[in-house]
Amino acid sequence: MPILEIKDLSKNFGGLKAVSSFDLTLEENEIVGLIGPNGAGKTTVFNLITGIFPVSSGSIKFMGQDILGMKPFKITQLGIARTFQNIRLFKQCTVLENVRTIFHPRVKYGLMDSFLHTPRYSAEEERITEKSFELLKTMNLDDRAHLTAANLPYGDQRRLEIARALAGEPKLLLLDEPAAGMNPSEVGTLVEMIRFIRDHFNITILLIEHQMGVVMNVCERLVVLDFGEIIAAGLPEEIRNNQKVLEAYLGKGVVSA
Amino acid sequence: MDMGKKTKMNLGKTAVLLLITLAVYVVMKALLISSILSSYWGLVLDQALITTIGALGLCIIYGFSGQFSLGHAAFYGIGAYAAAFVSKTYGHGSMAWFLLALPVGALTAALVAFLIGLPILRLRSDYLGIATLGFGIIVKVGMDNSNRLLPVLGGATGITGLPQVAGFDIIFLCTVMTVLLTRNFVQSSYGRACTAIRDDEIAADIMGIDTTRYKVLAFVFGCALAGLAGALYVHRYPFLHPSSFDFLKSFDFLLIVVLGGLGSMSGTIITSIAWVFLLEGLRFVLGQQFLEFRGVIYALILVVIILLRPQGIFGGKEVSVMAPPKAIPASGKEGPHADPGN
């Protein structure tokens, strides 16, 4: 069974077709790239999958279950986690708290345990802290656990968003421009991390990215979007030489000249 | 492995906190008994503690969950009236009925908060402020006309002759309990869910937190504390009047929470007490002749503090005993970075 199955997905904002007739099937353990020029509708696809926008038409199934019309937090609890193009951390909280917070839907103590700090509370808090540190270590952030998230450098904030997303124990991870604003050496580490995450946590990854270094290196399959429609799909080397893709990125005149 | 190490650390902090409160209690009690602190200042002290309870409620709602409420005094008033009703109708000064009136005050405020919170908490920031302000005005008008529903509530003339059964001991005990419950809540997963909503509601939603549920939870808990404060208030001050619960009182709570520093329980507690004593202290310093200057002076203090420290006196930090024990992985060593807190 595919992890994610999107069929004939469309989204209109008034008269603007942000996404139209979008199809995508993700199999388990894949790393797939969603690319396209600015304004092609890539982030809109993420927003539709995670339930931020209502869908105009089409269907989205996650592990066989129809998730259309579900609230964002429910969809996340099913096992889809994401990061944001414009980083959205819990800024005033520490790095560790950012990660610990996401364990909440699966926390094994009730409100009364919280008020009274029962042994059940203590045991569970210890487990959550332990797991959070593991995730921070994976993303090379464990030595910054007690810093305020807002004070982290840009690259660290991006990696913290990934750590936080992983705390939700997702089956599918959506990364929205994870390499944006990173320097070349950080990008190199990021590529390694993305592969490691896929193998270590055994999850499927769909990522939006503009840096071709990342896309060509880490993605096994690419889907190219332009003006809300898929204009090409296939292996990275196929996409690299695809006429339509080159035109979409560079303009028709440039390519034919 | 050091299983249970953190548990011990937290128990340690609780023990220190309780020791400090015990010391404060003994000192205050001694001052009261020896009449070094006159009964007038005893009354001020009790008012400071009651204000602390109510302000901690708003600290949860606004400071930790980011829900801007301008109607906190309404819940303070609802708790006061509910408790007054119980004591006036059934209690007649009996301790048992007083002890029952306290939860009645808190729960009535909580119930009203739940009913009003469900529809209005979907609003954000300023809009929520306007809605809560409106609710506060409705409650005030309701109190002014309460005698039409229940003559015992007195309407615009207020209620007199309430049994004054609340003393320093019970008020102090309620304050300590409130501090502990608030601290425990904030340091739990539920508290973290609320703080996440404060920092970025959309991100919290998309990261799997049922934002509506936790906004309502924080609001109900915070308003219950306001209700408890109100219930104590009517059993300490013989005269209950609707004007004690108008929107100016809501601003009092708001000022305390913002001045103390949003997201700081320590700041809220210290500012509550300082605020009440400052207002009474000015009355003495200025004397009867210059009493009108009080408004100018405390407004000036406000302006100066907010100019110097826009993040509030404590700026989201806690004093050590109120801060959570520093979480460290059981398996590993600590990171090289120093704890930025306190």
Q: Looking at the domain assignment, is residue B137 inside a domain? A: yes
- Flag if A114 and B335 touch (Cβ within 8 Å): no
CB contacts of B225 in chain A (<8 Å) are none
pLDDT at B339: 39
Nearest chain A residue to B340, by CA: A147
> How near does any CA of chain A get to the CA of B324, in Å?
11
Compare B301 and B222 and report the one with higher pLDDT: B222
pLDDT at B150: 85
Is B306 exposed, middle or buried, given 0-12, 13-18 or 19+ CB atoms closer than 10 A? Answer: middle
What element of type H or E holds B263? Answer: none
pLDDT, tens digit (0-9, with 9 covering 90-100), for B252-267: 899 999 999 999 999 9
User: CA end-to-end span of chain A, whole Å?
Assistant: 45
pLDDT, tens digit (0-9, with 9 covering 90-100), for B106-132: 999 999 999 999 999 999 878 999 999
Q: Looking at the domain assignment, is residue B44 inside a domain? A: yes
pLDDT at B8: 62
Q: Pull the structure tokens for residue B211.
A: 């934002």
d(CA B55, CA B276): 12
Is A155 exposed, middle or buried, given 0-12, 13-18 or 19+ CB atoms closer than 10 A? Answer: buried
- Flag if B208 and A52 touch (Cβ within 8 Å): no
Residue among B218, B318, B311 nearest B265 (CA):
B318
Asked if A84 contacts B203 with a C-beta cutoff of 8 angstroms, the reply is yes
Residues near B177 by Cβ (< 8 Å), separated by ≥ 6? Answer: none
Strand pairing category for A65-66 and A57-62 = antiparallel
d(CA A190, CA A157): 13
The amino acid that residue A13 corresponds to is F
> How near does any CA of chain A get to the CA of B16, in Å?
16
Residues of B (180-199) whose Cβ lies below 8 Å from A: 181, 184-185, 187-193, 195-196, 198-199
Q: Looking at the domain assignment, is residue B119 inside a domain? A: yes
Does residue B3 surpass a pLDDT of 50? no
Residue among A35, A28, A30 nearest A211 (CA):
A35
pLDDT at B9: 63
Please give the model's pTM, rounded to 2 decimal places. Answer: 0.91
Q: Looking at the domain assignment, is residue B338 inside a domain? A: no
Q: Which domain holds residue B175?
A: 12-255
Which residue is listed with tokens 């019309």?
Answer: A69
DSSP B338: P
B145 and A CB contact within 8 Å: no
Asked if B232 contacts A106 with a C-beta cutoff of 8 angstroms, the reply is no
d(CA A140, CA A196): 13
Does residue B295 surpass a pLDDT of 60? yes
- Mutation site, B56, B189, B200, B322, interface A, largest A CB count within 10 A: B189
Does residue B144 surpass a pLDDT of 50? yes
CB contacts of A164 in chain B (<8 Å) are 207
Q: Which of B199, B205, B335 sits opposite A145 (nearest CB)?
A: B335
- Flag if A104 and B181 touch (Cβ within 8 Å): no
d(CA A84, CA B186): 27
CB contacts of B199 in chain A (<8 Å) are 89-93
Q: Pull the structure tokens for residue B248.
A: 């100016």
Residue among B164, B169, B221 nearest B26 (CA):
B169
Is B123 exposed, middle or buried, given 0-12, 13-18 or 19+ CB atoms closer than 10 A? Answer: middle
Q: Which of B7, B189, B326 sits opposite A114 (nearest CB)?
A: B189
B12 and A CB contact within 8 Å: no
In DSSP notation, B296-336 reads HHHHHHHHHHHHH-TT-SSTT---GGGSPPPP--SSSPPPS
pLDDT at B170: 95
> How near does any CA of chain A get to the CA of B201, in Å?
9
* 3-state helix/strand/coil string of chain A: CCCEEEEEEEEEECCEEEEEEEEEEECCCCEEEEECCCCCCHHHHHHHHCCCCCCCEEEEEECCEECCCCCHHHHHHHCEEECCCCCCCCCCCEHHHHHHHCCHHHCCCCHHHHHHCCHHHHHHHHHHHHHHHHHHHHCCCHHHCCCEHHHCCHHHHHHHHHHHHHHCCCCEEEEECCCCCCCHHHHHHHHHHHHHHHHHHCCEEEEECCCHHHHHHHCCEEEEEECCEEEEEECHHHHHCCHHHHHHHHCHHHHHC
- Flag if A117 and B327 touch (Cβ within 8 Å): no
Asked if B171 contacts B46 with a C-beta cutoff of 8 angstroms, the reply is yes
Q: For residue B2, name the pLDDT band (cuts at 50, 70, 90).
A: very low
Q: Looking at the domain assignment, is residue B93 inside a domain? A: yes
B263 and A CB contact within 8 Å: yes
CB contacts of B4 in chain A (<8 Å) are 122, 126
- Flag if B208 and A102 touch (Cβ within 8 Å): yes
Residue among A98, A67, A119, A120 nearest A166 (CA):
A98
| C-alpha A30 chain-centroid distance | 13
Q: For residue B73, name the pLDDT band (cuts at 50, 70, 90).
A: very high
- Flag if A50 and B206 touch (Cβ within 8 Å): yes
pLDDT at B340: 38
pLDDT, tens digit (0-9, with 9 covering 90-100), for A207-225: 999 888 899 999 999 999 9
- Mutation site, A53, A75, A106, A115, interface B, largest B CB count within 10 A: A115
Does residue B237 surpass a pLDDT of 50? yes
pLDDT at B336: 39
pLDDT at B13: 84
- Flag if A119 and B7 touch (Cβ within 8 Å): yes
Does residue B10 surpass a pLDDT of 80? no
Does residue B241 surpass a pLDDT of 70? yes
pLDDT, tens digit (0-9, with 9 covering 90-100), for B174-202: 999 999 999 999 999 999 999 999 999 99
* Average pLDDT estimate for B224-250: 92
Phi-psi map region of A59: left, alpha, beta (phi>0 left; psi -120 to 50 alpha):
beta
Asked if B199 contacts A92 with a C-beta cutoff of 8 angstroms, the reply is yes
Q: Which of B205, B208, B341 sits opposite A168 (nearest CB)?
A: B208
B88 and A CB contact within 8 Å: no
- Flag if B203 and A142 touch (Cβ within 8 Å): no
Nearest chain B residue to A117, by CA: B184
> How near does any CA of chain A get to the CA of B177, in Å?
10
The residues of chain A scoring below 70 in pLDDT are 253-257
- Could you give phi then psi for residue A249, rounded to 5 degrees? -80, -40
pLDDT, tens digit (0-9, with 9 covering 90-100), for B303-339: 888 888 888 888 888 888 888 888 777 665 444 333 3
pLDDT, tens digit (0-9, with 9 covering 90-100), for B52-67: 999 999 999 999 999 9
- Flag if A104 and B190 touch (Cβ within 8 Å): yes
pLDDT at B335: 41
| Integer Rg of chain B from CA | 21
Instruction: Tally the domains of chain B.
Output: 1
Other CB atoms within 10 Å distance of the CB of residue B150: 13
Q: Which of A73, A122, A168 sits opposite B205 (nearest CB)?
A: A73
Q: Identify the structural domains of chain A with CATH numbers, from first to last.
A: 1-79+179-257 (3.40.50.300), 87-169 (3.40.50.300)
* Average pLDDT estimate for B30-34: 91
Planar angle of CA A220, A226, A231, nearest 5 degrees: 60
ipTM of the complex: 0.90
Q: Looking at the domain assignment, is residue B327 inside a domain? A: no
- Flag if B198 and A96 touch (Cβ within 8 Å): no
- Flag if B192 and A101 touch (Cβ within 8 Å): yes
pLDDT at B318: 87
pLDDT above 90 covers what percent of chain B? 59
CB contacts of B263 in chain A (<8 Å) are 92
Does residue B87 surpass a pLDDT of 50? yes
CB contacts of A109 in chain B (<8 Å) are 188-189
- Mutation site, A103, A125, A129, A131, interface B, largest B CB count within 10 A: A125
pLDDT at B184: 95
- CB–CB contacts below 8 A, A to B: 144
Residues of B (319-338) whose Cβ lies below 8 Å from A: 326-332, 335-337
What 3-state DSSP class applies to B240?
A: strand
Q: Looking at the domain assignment, is residue B299 inside a domain? A: no
Q: Looking at the domain assignment, is residue B30 inside a domain? A: yes
